[in-house]
Chains A and B, each alone.
Chain A
Amino acid sequence: MTDTRHMSLLVRDTRTARRNRAETRFRIYGLAAIAIGLTMLVILLVTIVGRGSGAFQQTYLSVPVTLIEAKLDKNGNRDPADLKKVTTFGYGPLLRSAFEQMVDDGTIRTDLPAKKIAGIVSDGAEAQVRDAVLADPSLIGQTVTFEFLASGRVDGYLKGRVSRESIANDKNISAEQLDIVDQLRTAGLLEKRFNLAFITGADASDARPEAAGMGVSMVGSLFMMLVVLVLALPIGVAASIYLEEFAPKNWITDIIEVNISNLAAVPSIVFGILGLAVFINYMHLPNSAPLVGGLVLTLMTLPTIIISTRASLKSVPPSIRDAALGVGASKMQSVFHHVLPLAAPGILTGTIIGLAQALGETAPLLLIGMVGFIASNGPDSLGEGLLSPNSAMPAQIYEWAKRADPAFYERAWGGIIILLVFLITMNAVAVLLRRRFERRW
C-alpha cells in the first residue's frame, strides 16, 4: 500500500489519472454518439430534400389552341347540354391541329406526325381544354393559349431523371420528341415552374404522374385529425383527471394504469385490424372514410394523451391543491380552477405530439382501406368530408412509392417533405406553447 499522506499535490497519483482517463473516454463516447446522430439526421434531410424538391417544380408547355366551332358546337347555340356531348376524346383533334400549326409556323421542326408531337403533353391536356370550354363557352371560335403540363417523361428530361440514353427502350417517348422539347425550350414555350398543384391537387392515374398532388389526401388527414382531436382530447383528459385526482388508489386502478402504458406500446397495425373488425365489419361504417381512420387513430392516440396529461397533472405541486381545499373549494373546484389550468400547457403539448404521431401513421390506414386512388375534389360539407372515401398523407406517399413510374417516386419524396413540414410545425407549436404558458411557482 502506498502512503498517500505524504504525496505531493503536484504529482498525479495513478488512481486520479485512471479516473480522469475514464472520464475523458466517456466524453468521447458521448460526443461520438451525438455526432453519429447528427450525421444521420443531415443525411436524412439532404436525401429527402434532394429527392423530393423536384416534385414542387413541374414542366409546363404553352400551346395556342384554336377552338374550332364546327367540332365543339355544331348547332352554334352554345347550349351547355350540347357542349357536354363532346367528350374529352373529341378534343384530341384540336390539340393535334394546334401542334400542326406550330410545325407550320416553324416553331417546331420535325418529321413526326402530330399525334406523336402531342405525346409530349400530359394525357390530361384534352380534359383541361374541355373544362375551360365548358366553363366559358364564349371561348369557342377563338385561339386560346393553354398552359399544359408536359408529360412525366418530358418533365423527367428537364429534371435530369430521363436522358437520351435511358429512353432507348421506352415506348412512351422518343429521341425525336426530345428534340422538339429542346426546340420549345429554346423558344421559351416550355419551362419548369413552381407547381402549386402538387400541394393542392388530387392524385392522378398511373399514366399521368405529372398531375398527381397531395391536396386530397391532405384534406383526408385534416378530417382525421379533427376526429382525433374532438374525441381523444376530451376523453383522454377526462380519464386522466379521474385517474389522477379522484380514483381511489387500489389494485383495480393499478391494473388500469399498467394497461394504459401497455396500450401505448401496442403496434399501430393492431389498432388497424381492430378498427376493421369493429368499426367497419361490425358497426358498418363506410370503408376508407376519414371518420373510421380518425376513430382508429383516436384509439392509438388516447394512451399518449392520457400519459402526458397524467404527467402534467402530477407535476402540479400538491400545495396548490391544499391551498384550494384549505379555503373550502371542493375537490372538483380545486381541479378545474387551479390544477387543470396549470397542467394545460403540458396537456396541450402532449396532445399536439399525439396528433403529430397520428398524422404520420400509415399502417392502420392500410387495413381500413384508406389507401388507393382517390381523385375526388374537396368535400362540400363536414359530413361528406368525414364519410366519403379519402386517403391520408402518409398513405398517399406509400401509394406513390409502390407505383412503377419513377416520376411517382419523386412525388413520394415530395410528399414526405410536405408531411415533415406539418410535423415540424406541430412540434414547434408544442414547444412554443410550453415556453409561453409554462408557470413557475
Chain B
Amino acid sequence: MFDNTTKPEALVSKTSKISTRNVQVYYGETHAIKDVNVEIEDKTVTAFIGPSGCGKSTFLRCINRMNDTIESCRVKGDIRIDGEDIYDPKVDPVQLRAKVGMVFQKPNPFPKSIYDNVAYGPRIHGLSRNKAELDGIVERALRRAAIWNEVKDRLQAPGTGLSGGQQQRLCIARAVATEPEVLLMDEPCSALDPIATAQVEELIDELRQQYSVVIVTHSMQQAARVSQRTAFFHLGHLVEFGDTDRIFTSPEDPRTESYITGRIG
C-alpha cells in the first residue's frame, strides 16, 4: 500500500527524518496499528487523516513515546528518527520528547503565567544560563507561535485566561521553546473556531521552515490546506501515503477515495 511511485523532484531531494518499519501497536488484546511503514521528511508538513478510531493519533503518539504512559499499550516494530531507534532500551523517553515536541487536541496550558508556560521546557532542559537568555527564548518562541503581539504586555497573566485559539498558540510556543526537531500535532484545531483555526494553520505553514511537522486532523480541507504529504489510515492500516495533491485528486485506493469523497468515516 506504500506509495512511492509519483514523488516530485522537490520532495525526493529532502531527507527522511522519521522512518518506521512494520509498526504494530496493541492495547491489551486489541491490535490498534497494523504494519505501518512510513517515511516522514524533514521540513515538511505531513498530515494523518482517517475516520475516528483508525489509529492515527495512536501512531502519532508512538513517535514521541507518549504511549508509554498507557499501561496496556505495547509497540512493536521499528521507529527511527535520524536513523536512531527511539524504542531502543538505551533511549530515555524524556530526552526524546525534548527533541520531538507535541501539541495536543485540547489546549492545555499549565495553570501558570504565560511566561512560565513557555519558560518551563527551557528551564528543565537547562537551555538558558540566565534570566536575560531565558527572556530571549520565551520571546522568540512566542513570536514564532505568532502570539507575541497579543501577550507581550501581560506575560505574567495566567495562561489559562487566554482565549481558546490563543491558548493553543501558547501551547505551540511552549512546544517550540525547547527547540525540538519534530513537532507532533494531535488535532490542534478541533477545539478552535474558524478564525483561530486559520491562525494556527498559517502558523503551521511557517513552522515548516524549521521543523518536520506531523499533524493529525479530522478535517480533509485542513489536510489539503496545510500539508505537503498525506497519510490515510483506516482500521489500523496505513492505506495510502503520498503527496497531498495526488491523494486528494487521484487516490489509488478505493477506501481513500470513499473517505475523501465522504462515503465512509
Q: Which residues of A come within 8 Å of B, CB atoms?
A: 248-249, 317, 319-330, 333, 337-338, 342, 439-441
Contact = CB atoms under 8 A, between A and B. Distances in A.
Nearest to B109: A323
B17 interface: no
A324 B101 CA distance: 11
Nearest to A338: B110
Contacts of A440: 111, 160
A326 B120 contact: no
A327 B111 contact: no
B95 A328 contact: yes
B121 interface: yes
A179 to B, nearest CB: 74
Given A321-B69, A322-B66, A327 B108 contact: no
9 contacts: A319-B104, A319-B106, A320-B111, A322-B108, A327-B124, A329-B124, A330-B94, A338-B110, A342-B111
Interface of B: 64, 66, 69, 71, 94-95, 97-98, 101-104, 106, 108-111, 120-121, 124-125, 160, 171, 174-175, 177-178
Main secondary structure of the interface of A (DSSP, over half): helix
Given A321-B69, A333-B124, A342-B111, A326 B94 contact: no
Contact of B178 (A317, A327, A342): A327
A337 B116 CA distance: 11
A123 B124 CA distance: 70
Contacts of B104: 319, 322-323, 326
A328 B97 CA distance: 5
B120 A337 contact: yes
A389 B19 CA distance: 72
Given A320-B110, A322-B66, A326-B64, 17 more contacts: A320-B108, A320-B111, A321-B69, A323-B104, A323-B108, A323-B110, A323-B171, A324-B110, A326-B101, A326-B104, A327-B120, A327-B124, A327-B175, A328-B124, A337-B120, A440-B111, A440-B160
A427 B160 CA distance: 30
Contacts of B102: 322, 326
Q: Which of B94, B95, B109, B125 has the most CB of A within 10 A?
A: B94
Nearest to B159: A441
A293 B120 CA distance: 44
Contacts of B66: 322, 325-326
A329 B64 contact: no
A329 B64 CA distance: 13
Contact of A329 (B71, B94, B175): B94
Q: Which of A326, A330, A337 has the most CB of B within 10 A?
A: A326
Contact of B111 (A328, A329, A441): A441
A441 B125 CA distance: 25
A327 B160 contact: no
Contacts of B106: 319
Contacts of B97: 325-328
Nearest to A439: B111
A320 to B, nearest CB: 6
Given A320-B110, A322-B108, A323-B108, A328 B178 contact: yes
Q: Which of A325, A327, A338 has the most CB of B within 10 A?
A: A327
Contacts of A441: 111, 160
A319 B98 CA distance: 18
A323 B186 CA distance: 12
A328 B125 contact: yes
Contacts of B108: 317, 319-320, 322-323
A322 B65 CA distance: 11
A323 B160 CA distance: 13
A125 to B, nearest CB: 64
Contacts of A333: 124
Contacts of A324: 110, 120
A327 B97 CA distance: 6
A244 to B, nearest CB: 13
A328 B160 CA distance: 21
A248 B71 contact: yes
B45 to A, nearest CB: 19
A55 to B, nearest CB: 48
B99 to A, nearest CB: 8
A53 B178 CA distance: 65
Q: Which of B66, B69, B71, B108 has the most CB of A within 10 A?
A: B108
Contacts of B125: 328
